[in-house]
Structures are given as structure tokens and as C-alpha cells.
Amino acid sequence: MNFISTRGGEKVNGAAKAIVKGLADDGGLFVPESFPPVTREELEEMLPLSYPERAARILGKYLDDYDSGELLAALEAAYSKFEGDPAPLVRIDDGIYLLELWHGPTCAFKDMALTVLPYLLRRGSDICGIKEKILILVATSGDTGKAALEGFKDAEGIKIMVFYPDDGVSKMQKLQMCTQEGGNVNVVAVKGNFDDCQTAVKQIFADAEQAKILKERGYILSSANSINFGRLAPQIAYYFSAYLDLVSGGQIEMGEGVDFSVPTGNFGNILAAYYAKRMGLPVRRLHCASNMNNVLTDFLSGGTYDTRREFYKTTSPSMDILVSSNLERLLFEVCGRNAGRTADLMKEPEATEAYTVTPQEKAAVNETFDGGFANEDEVVETVYDVFCDTGYTMDTHTGCAMKVALDWFEKNKKDTVKMVVVSTANPYKFPQDVLYAVTGNDVKDSFKGIKRLHAAMAVAVPKSLSGLRDKPVRFSKTAKRDKLFEEVLSFVDGD
């Protein structure tokens, strides 16, 4: 399959090249030249399969330059690191289900893709005949960083460097990253927010002179953020698997439409659901759930994407984002795959920090998407109400998505379409905030929060979190956003 840039001017033959490059030379994102269809018969065939087998069927449609047997083996190896089913579906109420995506090594949904990406990148390099070492740069709002570090630690021929916003992630997320093991990893805090990190990393990718300097040192750049199609593709699979679980569990009939409510910051998770729909999955609507940084909510309702607003630090920090990179891929689709139009839209924010789509483009978006958000009090109330009513404890990001789902049913009381709320993190990753929501108790220490939350939940604490207390902090450096390339060179030259 060929992959093309959302901004035109570049086409690569095969997923391997798109994955290894990460970002197109013109700054655009790689997208498949067409969406491979999944027929009803194929869906029926996947019903009895394991999660890795289902994922191999879906990914194989895009990754046709990878060996199918090797791909399945890699997926089985990746998901063997999870506790039980990698993506279980839990019935929470009449017509509402939770898709739990946090049973992996770092207790967040990013594990679903980042346990697979090392194989895709390493094998992709072999397919492309690349001999240089690979340097992966990651901007993170909390979860991607740890999942990428864990996935790539001690990977042969690969170095990985993660940048996170100083004072912009939770204490547990920071501790996960800064205690990371591995001889090929590095973590640096950036003075600013996630958008500052992401912009700085994109600038490094776009700078030909800096790429030349790195190549002279024997490295090529790649990304583990969802701008890389290799990060996005594995996420498509769990939407198919959730649907199949609804069918096999007798909750819906094959072919019946379902909705998904997805907590969203960088738009990659919900875009994967859109790609699943374009492949033929019977998705009716996608509900884009934001926190108080609700730039996407306003865009979906009004058609204008405007970052000129106050930035909030919330209890759902992985969604504290104003510049949603993956929205570019959706814009490319709704403007008729007009790369020139997409490029023009992407250039506008550089000067005005805002852009507006046409009425026709907005109508195309709203055929599938609607948006909502939850403020901090509403997140607390939602997490508390669900806990009291069902005994189920969710994290704050999932609380945003649940609030949006419940709002939908409140406005559409006669709606009988099943709703799957995507649950993106283990509640123990945000113990103080979740503890406050379910008990009203406020503690300052994360590990005390875990202990008290465990008493309230009576659910086992993941060892990967409880063991953090005794791990030494390896990384404590902070840098300004305009000094990140200097940090990159220092890391590379430290061989």
C-alpha cells in the first residue's frame, strides 16, 4: 500500500517507509492512499479469534509489506506483556460499556500501540535497507512518554528521548518516566506546556540542517507520537475488537451501529475509530470528549479551531493540549483529500493561531463527530456517581468521556444505540484525584493515595505503579524549548 502526505508532494511505497520516516518532508502526516475494506464476512471470521489475531487481520491490511506470520508473532509477544485480555469490554449500565485499554505495562492505553511499534520500526528499517541507528523523539503529555520508553528500552540500534512539560504531568506520570530503566533512554522536562514540547519536536523534524547533523553522527530521526502511522495503526484494531465483543456477547447484532465516546487531546485515539469506520466497521457516531481545554469541542460545534484561549492544567493532564496534531488527518479527508487545502489550513495557525473550515467541510465532520467536555467539578461528580451507582472506579480522563456519553443520552432520551466509552488509564495512575472523587479525601502523597484508593476499590494495585516508590530517579534535567536540539546532540554524543 502507498502512503501519501496530507500536504501533498510526497508518496512512499509501503507502510515501512511511512513508519520509519514518521513525518513527511513537507511537514504533513502520512495517510494510506485508500482505506482497505473489511467485509461483514471478515468480521464474522474474526469473532472467535484472540485479540492479537484480530489485530493482525486489521493491521495486515495496511502493512502489506510486512510478513503476516512475523506480524502475528510480534503482536502475540507484545500483548503477552498485558495482564489478561488486552482490551476487555465491561458492561457498566444499560446500553453503556467501558473499553478498558490500560492493562499493559504502563497502565495506559498508549501501551496498545507502543508495545508493537518497536517491532514495526525495527523491521521497517530492515525492509527499507536503513543502516543508520534510529533516534526517536517523543513529546508527551504524560502517558505516551512512559509507554514509549518502556517499549523501546534497550532496543538494538535505537535511542529514545522523551520531552514532557515541566509541572504539566501528574506526579505518578513524572515518576514513571524519570525512573525509567534502559541504557538507550533519556528524559528531559521542558519549561512550558505540552504544545511547547510538541512544537519544538516538530521543528527538529522539519529542520534539514539538524537532520544532516544527526545523520553525520549515524542517526536518522523517527517518532513514537501518533503523528507516526505506526503508532496510529494498532489503535484501529481495538475498535474492531470491541465491536466483535459486543456481537459475541449478544449485546448487538452483526451490522448494528454503535457509538464511541473517546477522551481526546491530540485526536489520535478518536481518529483511529474514524479510520475503523472508513474501513467498514458499523460506527454510527464518535463523541469527542475534552476537559476544560475544549478547543476541539468548539471546533466541532462552530467550525473554527482557535488556540487563542486560556490553557488549563487539569486533573486529566494527558488531555491538556490545545494543538491537536491528528486533526490534520481528518481535515484531509473532509476536504476531499485536497492536500493543497490541508496545507493552507495548517499554515494559517502559524500566523493567526486559528483557522475556519468551510460549511461543507464542517458538515462532513459532523456527519460522524460531535463534541463535549467536562469541567473539573463535573469530572469529580461523574467519577463519584458511577462509583456509587455501579461500584466501578474510573480515572479522570475516562470520567470526561463518561460525562459526554451521559450528556448525549440525557439530550437524546430515546436513543437505543449502544455506547462504548473508551477508558484510557488505570485509576491508580491518578490516585489522589480519583481518591478525592470517590471519597472526598485529599492527600498530598501519591503512594498514600494509592493505599487509600486500594482500600476504597478493593482492586489490586499494578506492580508497575506500587514499585515506583523504591526506584531511583535517573532523570531530572529541565530545558527551554529553544534548547532541545542541544539536549538531543548531548544525548547522541554520549555514546
Tell me the three cell numbers of residue 205: 523534524
SS (H, E, C) the chain: CEEEECCCCCEEECHHHHHHHCCCCCCCCEEECCCCCCCHHHHHHHCCCCHHHHHHHHHHHHCCCCCHHHHHHHHHHHHCCCCCCCCCEEEEECCEEEEECCCCCCCECCHHHHCCHHHHHHHHHHHHCCCCEEEEEEECCCHHHHHHHHHHCCCCCEEEEEEEECCCCCHHHHHHHHCCCCCCEEEEEECCCHHHHHHHHHHHHHCHHHHHHHHHCCEEEEECCCCCHHHHHHHHHHHHHHHHHHHHCCCCCCCCCEEEEEECCCCHHHHHHHHHHHHCCCEEEEEEEECCCCHHHHHHHHCEEECCCCCCCCCCHHHCCCCCCCHHHHHHHHCCCCHHHHHHHHHHHHHHCEEECCHHHHHHHHCCEEEEECCHHHHHHHHHHHHHHHCCCCCHHHHHHHHHHHHHHHHCCCCCCCEEEEECECHHHCHHHHHHHHHCCCCCCHHHHHHHHHHHHCCCCCHHHHHHHHCCCCCCCEECHHHHHHHHHHHHCCC
What is the Cα Rg of the chain in Å? Answer: 21
Say what the pLDDT of residue 351 is. Answer: 58
Say what the pLDDT of residue 353 is. Answer: 85
55, 117 in Cβ contact below 8 A?
no
Phi then psi dihedrals of residue 193, to 5 deg = -105, -175
Q: What's the CA gap between 325 and 348, in Å, rounded? A: 14
Say what the pLDDT of residue 309 is. Answer: 94
- Domain 86-108+230-465 coded CATH 3.40.50.1100: yes
Distance of alpha carbon 365 from the chain centroid: 20
Tell me the three cell numbers of residue 263: 477522551
Phi then psi dihedrals of residue 409, to 5 deg = -70, -30
pLDDT bin (cut points 50, 70, 90) of residue 489 is very high
Residues 6+ apart with CB under 8 A from 234: 55, 59, 112, 113, 116, 117
In a 10 Å sphere around its CB, with 0-12 CB exposed, 13-18 middle and 19+ buried, how is residue 24 labelled? buried
Q: What mean pLDDT, rounded, does the chain reach? A: 95
Distance of alpha carbon 205 from the chain centroid: 20
Q: 118's torsion region: left (phi>0), alpha (psi -120 to 50) or beta?
A: alpha
pLDDT bin (cut points 50, 70, 90) of residue 330 is very high
**304-306 and 354-356: which strand pairing?**
antiparallel
**11-13 and 304-306: which strand pairing?**
unpaired
Alpha-carbon dihedral sign for residues 111, 12, 73, 123? negative
Say what the pLDDT of residue 206 is. Answer: 87
The separation between the first and the last C-alpha atoms of the chain, rounded to the nearest angstrom, is 37
Buried b / exposed e over 322-355, threshold 16 CB at 10 Å, is bbbbbbbbbbbbbbeebbebbbebbeeeeeeeeb
423, amino acid identity: S
What is the residue whose three cell numbers read 504533513? Answer: 28
Q: What's the CA gap between 323 and 320, in Å, rounded? A: 10
Q: What's the CA gap between 178 and 471, in Å, rounded? A: 10
Say what the pLDDT of residue 274 is. Answer: 98
Q: What's the CA gap between 283 and 256, in Å, rounded? A: 8
Q: From 173, 438, 204, 149, select the one nearest 319 (Cα to Cα).
A: 173
Is 258 a residue whose pLDDT tops 90?
yes
Instruction: Please state the domain extents for the chain.
Output: 86-108+230-465
Q: From 259, 270, 246, 274, select the one nearest 405 (Cα to Cα).
A: 259
pLDDT bin (cut points 50, 70, 90) of residue 159 is very high
Q: What is the largest CA-CA distance in the chain?
A: 63
What confidence tens digit (pLDDT) does each residue in 403-417 have?
999 999 999 999 999
What confidence tens digit (pLDDT) does each residue in 102-126 have?
999 999 999 999 999 999 999 999 9
Say what the pLDDT of residue 348 is. Answer: 74
What is the residue whose three cell numbers read 480522563? Answer: 397
Q: What is the mean pLDDT of residues 11-31?
A: 94
Residues in the chain: 495
Q: What's the CA gap between 177 and 207, in Å, rounded? A: 27
What confidence tens digit (pLDDT) does each residue in 341-358 have?
999 999 876 656 899 999
Q: What's the CA gap between 197 and 355, in Å, rounded? A: 22
239, 270 in Cβ contact below 8 A?
no
Q: What is the mean pLDDT of residues 275-296?
A: 98
Say what the pLDDT of residue 36 is. Answer: 98
Say what the pLDDT of residue 9 is. Answer: 77
What confidence tens digit (pLDDT) does each residue in 417-475 have?
999 999 999 999 999 999 999 999 999 999 999 999 999 998 999 999 999 999 999 99
